[in-house]
Amino acid sequence: MSAPTPEFEIVKAREFLRTLSAARQVYALYPNEHPKRMETAADLTGQIGELCDTRGRAVVLFISDGNFYMGATLLAWESLTLSRLAQSMTDAGVRSLEFRPGVTRADADALLRLLMGEKGAESELAWIGVNRATPVVPDADVSGMSELLQSYAAGLELLRQTAARLLAGRPADLDATVRLTEHLAELISEDPAQALLLTTVKSYDEYTYHHMVNVCILSLALARAIGLSHEQSIALGIGGLLHDVGKVKVPREVLQHDGLLDEEQWRLIQRHPVDGAGLVAVTTRDPLHPAVSIVLEHHAAFDGSGYPSLSSGRVPSLPSRIVSVADCFDAITSKRSYRKPEERRQALSILQAGAGRAFDPRVVRTFVRLVGLFPVGSLVQLSSGEVGVVVRNHERALGRPTIRLVLDAGGNATETAEIDLSEKVREGAFRWSVVRTIDPVEMGIDMLSLLASGRLDVPMPADEGPGLVHEPAPGETPPPGYVDTHSAH
């Protein structure tokens, strides 16, 4: 197995891929020889130079199954968020790029034209080699999440395209939504624990899209635990994936507002279920499609105290009640524009406190059993001093999950191993117990890279966004300035 790629090299590789992605978009907008293209090619040349200077030798990046690698190191965030760049490289037949010191602006220009579909551009490359290096196959035992990651990335891209279509006055692609939901349901059925681990992924620039994919995954896992049929689960998953689609009609400056929101901004946000239901009805061409009611009712509340008000005191449908629980859990555990994320165990407490009022108590009970007292994906410290990730729950003893160790008692990275907290010593006492849960952000642990490649030393990308714009959950203290505009009608 090859040596791990150093942290500073990963940082430069990430910067390069994001610059390459932005440069490709510029090339899509401007014709050959345009000054904007030349300026962009010059910027990319400088980025390649820094990447080569970091290593002091040639640098090789690979693309495999839509994922980016530097050597054998998976660049998980870039694989997840730069799917359009990955697709353009695949379409151009690019499996590897080797950058040698001395790359010129002409090289950068030819590379970008190659990614735009200009086949002859490859012959112009002097200091960049295409497909000359053989990809280093990652250790398959490190992660079983490759297909889930690809589906997650596909979900993000589908939501980007959906937003663009809806803003252009066109219906969303329902067939693509159904295919993605069916594939996610299949993967969740094969390994619910791995799918739940993936919902620990929190965006650094597309909070709403990540939230929508997470809610879809959580809802599908919950549907499976409740015992819904395949057809019911798929309709539920579509509603979960599109539950916040009405936010495409909320002005960007509101969704990206950093800090407290005023009454008018809250009023705009609280319109999104009605707007979203209309958009889904147009897409499905069926106002009675189950996804329409899910989008409309996911904030209505079990006791009818939410919004919009339902006729004749009607209780939201079961799929809506399921998505409501998944929506709240993911929102509470996400950074919001006015509040830090709650840890996953606290999120369960908030759900339980709202059972019978905001949430269906039966759905909450099933959800708690599904994710456990220490929710899958939680980072915990054990009585031994070691730190690990909760990877699956015990069928009966919810406080005794299986843990994947990541740090030893001294805080150093340790060999990957799973331990069962239900294991006892001869005297009948438990060998390990959970002492406390830990916020991975405070420890500087990138959960996505840890889950995808097993590496602790991969730096987290900068968190520059304001966070998810979302209603405060029932039981939470509303942020200063919050106005419950729907109850004022």
- Angle, vertex CA 152, rays to CA 295 and CA 81, nearest 5: 110
- Residue among 50, 51, 78 at smallest CA distance from 64: 78
- Residue among 392, 454, 420, 395 at smallest CA distance from 144: 454
Residue that the structure tokens 């010059």 belong to: 42
User: CA-CA distance, 356 to 302, in Å (whole number)?
Assistant: 7
User: Within 10 A of 297 (CB to CB), how many other CB atoms are there?
Assistant: 26
Residue that the structure tokens 């009805």 belong to: 281
Q: Dump the DSSP string for 41-61.
A: HHHHHHHHHHHHHHHTS-EEE
Contacts of residues 256-262 at CB distance under 8 Å and 24 or more positions apart, as own/partner, are 256/465, 256/466, 257/337, 257/466, 257/469, 258/337, 258/466, 259/337, 259/338, 259/466, 260/337, 260/338, 260/479, 260/480, 260/481, 261/337, 261/338, 261/469, 261/479, 261/481, 261/482, 262/481, 262/483
pTM: 0.87
User: CA-CA distance, 269 to 164, in Å (whole number)?
Assistant: 19
pLDDT at position 486 is 64
- Residue among 125, 123, 120 at smallest CA distance from 45: 125
Q: Identify the DSSP state of 308.
A: S
pLDDT at position 138 is 54
pLDDT at position 488 is 46
| Residue pair 89/61 in contact by the 8 Å Cβ criterion | no
pLDDT at position 85 is 94
Q: Dump the DSSP string for 160-208.
A: HHHHHHHHTT----HHHHHHHHHHHHHHHHH-HHHHHHHTT---SS-HH
Residue that the structure tokens 């606290």 belong to: 346
pLDDT at position 135 is 65
pLDDT at position 400 is 92
pLDDT at position 3 is 60
Backbone angles phi, psi at 436, to 5 degrees: -165, 160
The H or E element that residue 70 is part of is: strand 67-70
Q: What is the full per-residue pLDDT of the chain (489 aa) written as tens digits?
A: 456 678 888 888 999 999 999 999 999 999 998 999 999 999 999 999 998 887 677 889 999 888 898 877 888 888 888 888 999 999 999 999 999 989 999 999 999 999 999 989 999 999 999 998 876 655 444 445 678 888 898 999 999 999 999 989 899 999 999 999 999 999 999 888 888 888 888 776 788 999 999 999 999 999 999 999 999 999 999 999 999 999 999 998 898 888 888 888 998 999 999 999 999 999 888 888 999 999 999 999 999 888 898 877 788 999 999 999 999 999 999 988 888 888 888 899 999 999 999 999 999 999 998 988 888 888 999 999 999 999 888 888 888 999 999 998 988 888 778 999 999 887 788 999 999 988 887 777 888 888 777 777 777 777 667 888 888 887 778 887 788 766 544
pLDDT at position 313 is 72
Q: Helix crossing, 290-297 with 230-241: angle to 10°? A: 40
- Residue among 171, 167, 195, 194 at smallest CA distance from 181: 195
User: CA-CA distance, 482 to 262, in Å (whole number)?
Assistant: 7
User: CA-CA distance, 112 to 88, in Å (whole number)?
Assistant: 10
First to last CA, the chain: 64
Q: Identify the DSSP state of 307.
A: S
